[in-house]
Amino acid sequence: MKSLFENTGLYTRFEEELKKWLGTPHKHLQCEIKKGADCGLFILKTLFNIGLVTDYNIVKTHSRLWYYLTDSEIILDIINTVIERYMVTGYVLHEVDDLKHGDILTFSIGEVNLKTNHIAVLLTDDKIIHSIKKEGVLLSDYNKYGQYLTHSYRVFLI
């Protein structure tokens, strides 16, 4: 299978759409540029905006502290739901071991029993874009978060 982002035009569009979110404050279960975005929804909305998923508003209401209150893997459940139901025909999201620009990364940050509780996109070899509570959507050093990586996913053409 061929990675979708080998088509540099689409990757450029994806990156430009993601960067529009920079400076947006973090708000739980929100996804509106400059008004509020949580780590998962702004990525889903970006995939929707470039035509890779058919819906982005698929996240069920849950507590801001869900990872302390439940055994659920909400972020992984969202990714699996996207894979199963919302990818546009002709594309698939697969877990990968090697990292490339455009990959969707999940992390287990903090002391939450290794539960996946954060999501980001790898923009360059050393930069991720994500939304964090105190700073909103920003670029961060991948090396700061790499040790917490739990999964990485890539969009492929089928």
**pLDDT reported for residue 34:** 94
Mean pLDDT of 58-81: 60
Instruction: Indicate whether 61 pLDDT > 60.
Output: no
**pLDDT reported for residue 66:** 46
Q: Which of 137, 79, 125, 87 is nearest to 104 (CA)?
A: 79
Look at 71 and 155; give whichever has higher pLDDT: 155
What pTM was computed for the model? Answer: 0.85
Look at 64 and 51; give whichever has higher pLDDT: 51
Look over the chain and give the mean of its residue pLDDT values, rounded to a whole number: 84
- Segments forming the whole domain that contains residue 27: 2-157
- Residues 100, 77, 157, 11, CA torsion sign: negative
Look at 73 and 82; give whichever has higher pLDDT: 82
Q: Which tokens hold the place of 10?
A: 């689409």
β-strand pairing of 127-132 with 36-37: unpaired
**pLDDT reported for residue 91:** 86
Q: Which tokens hold the place of 142?
A: 């991948």
Mean pLDDT of 83-93: 83
Q: By percentage, how much of the chain surpasses pLDDT 90?
A: 38
Q: What is the DSSP string of the chain?
A: -EEGGGSHHHHHHHHHHHHTTTTPPB-TT-EETTTEE-TTHHHHHHHHHTTSBS-S--PPP--TTHHHH-S--HHHHHHHHIIIIIBPTTEEEEE-SS--TT-EEEE--SSSTT---EEEEEEETTEEEEEETTTEEEEEEHHHHGGGEEEEEEEEE-
Query: How many domains are contained in the chain?
Result: 1
Of 31-40, 44-53, 105-114, the poorest mean pLDDT is in 105-114
CATH of the domain at 64: 3.90.1720.10
